[in-house]
Structure 1
Amino acid sequence: MELKNTVRFSELDWLRVILIFAVFLHHVCMPFNGDGWHIMNNDSSKMLDDIMVYFEQFRLPILFFISGVGSVILLSKVTVVKFVKDKFLRLFIPLLIGSLLVIPPQVYMENIVEMQSYWQEYPSLALKFETNHLWFIEYLFVFFLLAIPLNKLFSSSLGASIINFVQKLSKYKIGLYLLVTLLIIIKVYFSLTFPIEDKKIENLSSSAFYFFFFISGMLFVRSNIIWQAICDQRFYNLLLLVFSTILFYSYYYSPDLSEYLSLDMRWSIWWLVCCLVAWSAFLTILGYAQFYFTKTPKWISLSNELIYPFYIFHQTVIVVIGYYVIAWQAPILLKVISLFALSFLVTSLICWYLIKPSNILRFLFGLKPKNNVVPVAYHRVAGGI
């Protein structure tokens, strides 16, 4: 597969930065929503929790979609061996280093009352190889390996039939929205089969849900017809998002239904409305991003280069600084603003002054050598890939 007449996917450059920033903002707010995070403020905001539960339905799914797009583009440019090597260097090594160096401070701050000094506890903390928020990188590593046979499948006659079917669906205003039916089946089935909340890769209630978006990225990028339909139908998808949002919060605020519905049925309805929001938000955001984000300014290119180590470090910085911020005698809003500003500043400084200039640290945290930097870019092909 060869890329010709490429045009940059500026919308994906923008979305990648915006969504990682949204993840950062989400984690800044976590100590204050009463949800039992690594560190928790004594007081919590129910309204904050009610807002956060909505946005967490689609931030990460869209990032997995973007990664699916990227897998097809990279596989069209390099051999499978080079593809695997790239993912080992840029995903597995940062995951390992992150588990050894970045995650232990989080675990320590979470259990600081029960522990001795950090350096005394460090060996046992590091050898646990916990991933915490780096589960996202673990998922990507596995998904990218699975992308190799999937890419061959989509290049076959069977794959062409699948793409052709989705192209026909995309001609209808709610055609692509109907694919949510498959997402709902996947989510409900695996969530009932794996009734656990963790983010381990073997927990298919989580990984299969995100993999659906990854595969969608691999499929949609192969067709300019599908991609253009998402842009053209953005307003209709926005209406569907409004409809899905109304259903979501109607059920979220519904009275106790335990007298009428079993526990499995109540959870199934919840997963259903979550899928409706996730899929309609994905289509809406991608459609409007295509329309408005037509150019990639230099600062977005630079942000795309450093957004990866920013993601790796951000939660640890938030937890360490947040441990002290939540002890303040101050209103929640002031604490949130302070934690946001301090964490953003410290994480940015780490990325700019420690990671960016050092080839050793760039290697350990998934960046290319500074004398060989190619900004993260996503390209479309005239006529499809």
Structure 2
Amino acid sequence: MSPPQPTLPIVRSEHGSQYAQLLRLVKAAGLLDRRPRYYRWKLAVTAALFLGGWAAFVAIGESWWQLATAAFLAFVFTQLGFLGHDAGHRQMFSSRRANYVVGILHANLAIGLSYGWWIDKHNRHHAHPNEEGKDPDIEIGALAFTAAQARSRGRTAAAVYRYQAYLFFPMLLLEAVSLHLASLRALARRTTRRRGWETTLFAVHVAGYLTAVFVILSPLQAVAFILIHQGLFGLYLGCSFAPNHKGMAMLHPDDRTDYLRRQVLTSRNVRGHWLTDFMLGGLNYQIEHHLFPSMPRPNLRRAQDMVRQFCHAHDLTYCQTSLLASYAQALRHLHTVGRTPSPAAA
């Protein structure tokens, strides 16, 4: 038998206006207003950390102490990724061009990801969270998020899926490499807008990164630096996104759940404080972020009580848990799905 999958309730159309009610409350509180001063400060501090990290890299020179620099830069690269994410949702500035410039500089130039490719992928995720066949974040061949996926990909994949809960965090060490390669493929296929700028900045990043590492470090140190830096970058990035939807309700392709429930019931918040907000880039307020993608990051915490009370008033489950508990829930889901009988045994 297939493991039970959480499903969303079928909701009648009269509930569709509830989101409009919540949106009016949020707008009236000024929570969708831009916070340019916050973002200018955030951009300046993160840029200083980025430049400082590479200045330290040059100053230290050929040394195994550079592995500590690699770990620090993995942290900074992820913080740059969070800013690219905010720019992609136009949270920073009212000008579309300003958000785009920030996004492409942080993604393509600073960390080596195609901004245009990621925007397309991420927008599809927001439109169809946890929806089979439509959410690219659950259409990953290396993992099965539903029983149907586990059964349909053959015996070899099914054998791997049986252990996917144990392999999940080690696989995140390869996440950055996977994103770099996906960006390269997207640019090569010419599927991104403003491909010329994206390709140029991406190439400058790759050339500058590899030149700096292999010129300053010995070959063995250079390889070790890249492995540590890219591995920890992928792990940190993956651990920041993993609590958001994994193990939450899955949507069937023909589901007609309304927008409010689609976003709330497929998302999970992570309980914490200012340090949690900083380390997870505001993604710990995943429910609020999915309901209002353009809401500036510092306003998400302020919106939380309003959204939670609204959900409770309308008998809508609002999921919030600790960071460790969120990982445990995600891993339990992966374990259950991975134990789905193989195609031959089903």
> Same fold by TM-score, threshold 0.5 exceeded?
no
Higher helix fraction: Structure 1 or Structure 2? 1
TM-score, normalised by the number of residues in structure 2 = 0.32
